[in-house]
Structure 1
């Protein structure tokens, strides 16, 4: 390819990254109407280390829920005890029925035991700020349907930085904001009437990535689905159990939700990704004298490399705390490709392992 043409295409693909991450709306700051009864439902399976942070944060909310229910999903640690000591209502799941995933069964169990007119589903590893419940409830009252929020990804250990591209690609491939049509499982809210209207978690019983599919069900029922970013409003630390958990977690998401993304939007994301991958290759290739296309000069490859590194540093800021890894992005690029290959193999195999359970990746959406 002609050098000038290649440079132009790389610039265009670099600009695509800015466009895809240009608008990341947050939950609107509006007031709750009246005094609604709100049930907070927290599925928990061996969450003794994460649950205390969430329960403490819930006690500090400016809008206090009617009840906080922790659904203990067959834990083998002190999850139930920790929840009881924090003042939450604790219920135990019955043995997992055939055709159900653990989280969906836990949430169905929790909803059955709840008394609120509004339901808020929170993962046990989330940490909301003091206004989150107010904003979530008010937004559901204003928009109706299903409202969710993607938590800010807080990292603590070096291996967690490898998640940067998964976070970015996931956000680039979807539309955020009011009636965007996508949902984030870690923090979702809905009225009980709307939840019962779509059939609850029964309609996504066997789905691992239940948020993607329950969003489809809400839309099919004529109900809006809205999603927002959680920067400054809710955090979580994904997969603190180690790099194996991180690999399995993103493998799970790849293998079960990849087909749910708009192909046109995904094509645009791939254009940006391919340029990122190319820039990750060109600099080491130039330094080591490997064969490459285009201009192999060090100046050209350094400029290309820095352009993407700086872009990553800026666009990932509201997404998570990924720090220095943006300037060594070939490392997460290699990791991303590796997990993608594993996901393809697991998709072909038809099952994955997650939290001690074998889960099918072959599931027909409603």
Structure 2
């Protein structure tokens, strides 16, 4: 085996190793009768709340209250939430130095009554047992417990997000007391939330979940994270391709800067192998510049090895099977959004839901 082939084998094996810690939220039984407030920030979410709010009504564990924080929506968000039985509040106009989500949840907490707080993004769709398992795990571990939902895709353009969904999980440790938090679904006690300063302490952070996790760790509180395969899902950016590009560009560079150096190096090595495999097969077929073996067969085998790996690794992450067979396409998309994110960092802001959001 030559040096190039050995290097690619190491990178391929590294992909499997990085996904060994994708733990699913464990089963559990809620102790006692805790009062739980579910808080949902919502800005122009009339298309998502009809999925989330009925799912909350079907939970095996019933929360004390469901509060939808209508963040000055221009659509029927408030009316839909009220019709579904949720408590609807509207915060004051966005204050300087705050992001819309942190501002909304800050006021939602102030209006809530529960001893346990559950934060859910408006585009999430929990299974009937999700809330019970989330609350039970928070009771068991304490601190901050979060879950990254299964990424459900419905349109072809949404499949392009496969690498963002997978790399976001590969780049961090997961499981009990891993030190990582995911914003779409989080649970904490009110006492611990107040102890770390709540959303006021991360007021201007675009990726507030990462920084909230840091605050809990600094306070000596555990931070745990799981994947939501079979328990909670979401459909990211159903508003179209442009929204998806802006959304990933908004979060990508900021989140990358928070990843541990060791994990980042490991992910970059795996990605470089994926990029190389994406190039080698068409290069060998079309006579493009190519280091290593120029014949088609070994490059076809390399391509298939990474395609099968992607299909396998993403089963618990999202429904991305067919795009993994033509993974050079999402590789190009990943690179394009990466460069757009770098540009956004230089510009300092990006427009999101009618607001200018800081990318620094």
Identify the TM-score tier after normalising by the shorter chain.
over 0.9
CA shift for structure 1 position 255? 2.5
Which residue is equivalent to 1:253?
251
CA shift for structure 1 position 221? 0.7
Which residue is equivalent to 1:227?
225
CA deviation string 1:317-361 (max 9, x = no partner): 000001210010000000000000000111111112211111112
Distance 2:28 2:302 in 1: 43
Alignment of 1:105-124 (within 5 A): 105-124=103-122
Distance 2:252 2:16 in 1: 24
Residue 87 of structure 1 pairs with residue 85 of structure 2:
yes
Output the TM-score relative to the length of structure 1: 0.97
User: Alpha carbon RMSD of aligned pairs, Å?
Assistant: 0.8
| Preserved contact between residue 21 and residue 173 of structure 2 (Cα < 8 Å) | no
Which residue is equivalent to 2:186?
188
Alignment of 1:34-53 (within 5 A): 34-53=32-51
CA shift for structure 1 position 27? 1.4
The alignment covers a number of residue pairs equal to 360
Residue 356 of structure 1 pairs with residue 354 of structure 2:
yes
CA deviation string 1:63-115 (max 9, x = no partner): 00000000000001000000000000000111000000000000011000000
Runs of 4+ in 1 over 4 A off after TM superposition: none
Out of 4, 7, 29, the position equivalent to 2:5 is 7
CA shift for structure 1 position 257? 1.6
Distance 1:291 1:349 in 2: 35
Out of 96, 99, 112, the position equivalent to 1:98 is 96
Alignment of 1:1-366 (within 5 A): 4-362=2-360
CA shift for structure 1 position 23? 2.6
SS at match of 2:2: helix
Output the TM-score relative to the length of structure 2: 0.99
SS at match of 1:260: coil
Gaps of 5+ in 1: none
Distance 1:31 1:13 in 2: 40
Distance 2:244 2:238 in 1: 8
CA deviation string 1:120-146 (max 9, x = no partner): 000000000001111111111111100
CA deviation string 1:20-65 (max 9, x = no partner): 0123111121111100000000000000010011000000000000
Q: Report the more deviating stretch, 288-297 or 187-196.
A: 288-297
Distance 1:104 1:23 in 2: 29
Distance 2:169 2:256 in 1: 13
